[in-house]
Structure 1
Amino acid sequence: MMKDCLQFLIEPAKKLKIRLKESRKRVKLDKKEPLVESQLFIMELARELNRICQRSNVLGHIWTSEDIWPASVCRDFIVEWAAVLEKKVQSKIIPSDYQYEKPEKKDWKGHLLCMLESGGEYDMGPYKRVIMDWTRDIKSRPQPTVWPGEPVLMMLDDLEFQWKRGRLPNLLPAMELVILAVMNADSPIKEDVTKQWLVKKQRNQRVDAARYIPHSVWNWICDAAEDVTLDSESAHPDLLISGDEKRVRCGLERRDVQRSQQRFDGWWCAVGQEGYVSGRHYWEVDVGERDWRLGVAKASAMRQGFRSLNTDTGYLTLRLERGTDLKALTVPTTPLQQSLVPRKVGVYLDYEQGQLSFYDVEKRSHLFTYNEKFTEELYPVFGTVEVVKDLVIRPADVRQPCLCPGPCLWT
C-alpha cells in the first residue's frame, strides 16, 4: 500500500522533470536560431535611440537580446515607421540603390522561392534607409540627446515593469514611445507624447498589438469621465430603469408607454440623455454575464424594428451573446477572443480624433476601437436582455484602485 502511494507521488515528479528538460532543450534551440536582418536592424535601432533619448535605458533590453521580436513583427514595424517618418503611405516609398539585389532572368517560381528563402527580407532596404537616415540626422546635430519628459519616463518605466511581469509580449510599445518622444523634440510644435501614443495605439488593430494601457495614459482617459444617465423616453417597453436612471434590466411584463420615433421597439436598448458633438468623454458600465450591448448611436440612427445595430445603420457597438461570443458590430462583424470578455467595460469617445474605444476596466486593457470621422451627434447606447442582473452605469468618480508596487504611477 505504501509503495503504491509513493509511486503515485513519484510518477508526476518524473513527468514534470522530463517536461522541464524538453523545455530547456527548446530554449537552447531557439537561442541558436540565427537572427534575420530585420531583427538585427531593430536591435541596432534600439541601441541608437537609447543613446539619443537621455535617461531612458528601457531599450537596452532589446539591443542586448533580452527581448527579440518575431521577424514578421520587426518587418511590419520597420515599414510602418518608415512611412511615418516620410509622412507618406508605404506604397509611395520608391526602391533605391539600397534595395536588395533582385534575381535576373528568373521565372516567377524562382522569384517566389528567392523571396521565401530570404524570409521576407527581400525588399526591406528602402525602409531601413529612411529610418537610419533619420537617426543619423539627429546624431549629427550639436545636441543629439533628447530629454523625453517626466510623463514619458514614467510611462517607459511602467511598460518595462509590465514586460518583466509578462503582461507585454515585447517592448514594441516602449520603442514606439521613444520614437514619438524623439520626433516630438524635433518638432516646432510640442505635443503631449502620451496622448499621441494613445491615438496611435487605438488606430492599431493588429492581432499582436499590445492591449495593456500604461498608468499615465489610463489616468488621462479617466480624466474625461462624466456622469451618464439613461433616457427613459428612449427605452424599450420591456426594459426597467431605476429611479436614478443608472440601472437597467429586462422586466417580465411589457410597460404601457407612449410610442415615439425616439423609443426602441425592437431591440432591448436605451440611449443616454445627453448627446455629444465634441470633446472627450468616458463612462464605465458593470455588464451582465450573458448578454449586453454598449457603444454609441448616431442621431440619425433608426431605433425601430430589428435591423442590425451595426456601422451600416449608425451604431458603433460592442456586443456579448451567450456569455462567450464577444464581437464588434462592424460590417462584417469582428469577433474578439473569448478570453477578452470583461465584467466592467470602459467606453472612451474622442470626437475630434474620430475614435470610440472599449476597455476592460479591471485588467486596464484595450478591447477594440472604431475609427471614423464623426459629423453628427452621438448618444451612449445600452442594451441587455438579462432579467436578474442589472446593467449598471458607474458614477464618474469611481475608479479602480491602483495595484502597482512601489511608488504609485497612478496619481
Structure 2
Amino acid sequence: MMQCFHFMAKPTKNLAAKIKESQKKTKKDKGELLDEDQLFVLDLARELSRVCQRSSVLEHIWNEDDIWSTPLCRVFILQWALMLESKQKKPMKTDGWPAMEEWKQPDMINDQDVLQAKNMILNWIKDLRAQPEQSVWPGEPVAKVLEDLQSAWRWGRVPNLLTAMELVMWTLMLQQPEKDNIPQQWLMWKQRTQNIGAISYIPQPVWDWISDAAVEVTLDLDSANPDLLICSDEKRMRCGFERKDVPNYHQRFDGWWCAVGVQGFGSGRHYWEVEVGERDWRLGVAKEPSLRKGFKSLNTNTGYLTLRLERGTELKALTVPFTALPQGLIPRKVGIYLDYDQGQLSFYDVDKHLHIYTYNESFTDKLFPLFGTVEILKDLVIRAPPDKTQCLWSSSCLWS
C-alpha cells in the first residue's frame, strides 16, 4: 500500500506545481498591474527574505505567485506599523503589543495613514540591514513552521502567505535570545490580541505542541443530567427518552443537559478533543463554584467559559452579551486547549487546524471540562488525539 502512495506522490506534486504555474501565467497574461500598496508588500517580502535566507517561503510573495488584495495589503501595512510603534514604547514585552481592537478597519484607512506607516516600516528595514544575519535569524523552530505554512499554501489549505509574513515580522521584532519557543509564543499572542479566528491554519509543529498537552478526560456520572445516557467508558453521551432515577447531588445538572469531567485543573497546560453533533452542543469549562441547578444561563457571569452551537447554524461564545461567531468556524471535531497559567482557554477545529475562539482571563478557581448536548441520535464523544501508530477506527459503544 505504501508503495502505491510513493508512486502517486511525485505526479501529485508535479500537478500541484503545474496548477500554481498556470495560475501565475494567467495573472500575467491578463496584464494585471499591481498598485503601490501591493508593490510595497512585495518589496517588504524581498527585504525580509534577505534576513531570513534559510527560508524560501516569502519568495512566493515577491515573485508574485501569491498576490494579496489591496485592502489586505493596506490593513497589513497599518497593523505592523502600529506594532513597531508599540514595541518602541514597550520593548521586549509581547503583552505590551496592541490588541486587534486598536487596529483600523479597511474603510477607516486613508492614504496619509498608509504613507506614514510605510515610512515607519522602511526605517525599521534599514535597521535590520545593519544587523548581522545570525542575530536576526529566527531559528530552526520558526523555519519548520514556515516550511509547513509554505506546504499548506501550496496545497490550498491557506488562501495566502499572510501568516508566514506575520510570523517573520513578529519574530524579528521580538529579537530575544531564546528561540526554541517562539512559534508557541506567537500563537499565544495571536489568540490574546484576536480572540476570534486568529489563525486560519495552525502549523503542524505548533499543533504538535498543543497536542502534547493531551490529558485523559472522562465524564463525571455524579454531575450528569438524569436525561443523559453515558457509555460505560464514560467518554460518550447523548440524550435519552426517560429521566433516570439517580441521587440529586448538589453537583448534578438537573436543568441543562450537561456533565463535567471528573478531574478539574488548577494549573498547567491541558488539551482534549470532542466529536460533536450537527445540531446542538455546548463545550468549554465550568469554574468549581459555578451553580449547576436549573436553567440559569451558563455564561461568563455564572462561571462558565463555553462555545454553543444552536439549531446547527448559530455558533456563539457565551460571553455577556454573547459573541456570535461566523458559520465558517463551525467544527465537527473540537480541540479544547487550556493554559491555566497563561490565562487562555482556546477552541480549535481539529480537522482544519483552525483557531475558533479564545477566552483570555486570569484564572483562580479550579476548572472542570464541560460537555452538553440535546441530540438523541448522535453521540458527543471525547477522543484522545491520535498519534502516528494509533488506529483511527474505534469500536461502537453498546448501550445497556
The TM-score bracket by the shorter chain reads 0.7 to 0.9
Determine if the alignment matches structure 1 residue 228 to structure 2 residue 249.
Answer: no
Partner of 1:269: 258
Q: Distance in 1 between matches of 2:385 and 2:132?
A: 48
Determine if the alignment matches structure 1 residue 160 to structure 2 residue 153.
Answer: no
Partner of 1:169: 159
Distance 1:29 1:320, change over 3 A: farther
Which has more radius of gyration? 1
Distance 1:50 1:132, change over 3 A: same
Q: Deviations over 1:163-190 (max 9, x none)?
A: 1222212111111221233345x32444
**What displacement does 1:311 show?**
2.0
Q: Distance in 1 between matches of 2:196 and 2:239?
A: 35
Distance 1:306 1:29, change over 3 A: farther
**What displacement does 1:271 show?**
0.7
Contact 2:225 2:258 in 1 (8 A): yes
Q: Deviations over 1:121-167 (max 9, x none)?
A: 22234433333333222221344664333322222121112212222
Secondary structure of the residue aligned to 2:357 is strand
Q: Distance in 2 between matches of 1:67 and 1:151?
A: 24
Partner of 1:307: 296
Alignment of 1:129-208 (within 5 A): 129-143=119-133, 146-184=136-174, 186-190=175-179, 192-205=181-194
Q: Distance in 2 between matches of 1:144 and 1:31?
A: 40
Partner of 2:246: 257
Q: Distance in 2 between matches of 1:321 and 1:249?
A: 16
Partner of 2:377: 388
Q: Deviations over 1:24-64 (max 9, x none)?
A: 9x96798535413x333322221111001131121112222
Q: Distance in 1 between matches of 2:338 and 2:331?
A: 19
Q: Distance in 1 between matches of 2:132 and 2:314?
A: 57
Distance 1:156 1:299, change over 3 A: same
Determine if the alignment matches structure 1 residue 212 to structure 2 residue 173.
Answer: no
Q: Distance in 2 between matches of 1:119 and 1:310?
A: 36
**What displacement does 1:294 show?**
0.7
Partner of 1:32: 32
Partner of 1:363: 352
Contact 1:54 1:145 in 2 (8 A): no
Secondary structure of the residue aligned to 2:222 is coil
**What displacement does 1:295 show?**
0.7
Distance 1:76 1:30, change over 3 A: farther
Q: Which runs of 5+ in 1 are unaligned?
A: 1-22, 92-114, 403-411
AA in 1 matched with 2:201? Y
Q: Distance in 2 between matches of 1:145 and 1:51?
A: 13
Q: Distance in 2 between matches of 1:173 and 1:385?
A: 38
RMSD: 3.1
Distance 1:51 1:354, change over 3 A: same
Percent identity over paired residues: 58
Q: Distance in 1 between matches of 2:158 and 2:28?
A: 23
Q: Deviations over 1:248-267 (max 9, x none)?
A: 11122112222233111111
Q: Distance in 1 between matches of 2:184 and 2:118?
A: 27
Partner of 2:110: 120
Q: Which runs of 5+ in 2 are unaligned?
A: 1-22, 90-96, 100-105, 392-400
Distance 1:144 1:45, change over 3 A: farther
Kindly tell me the number of residue pairs found equivalent between the two proteins: 353
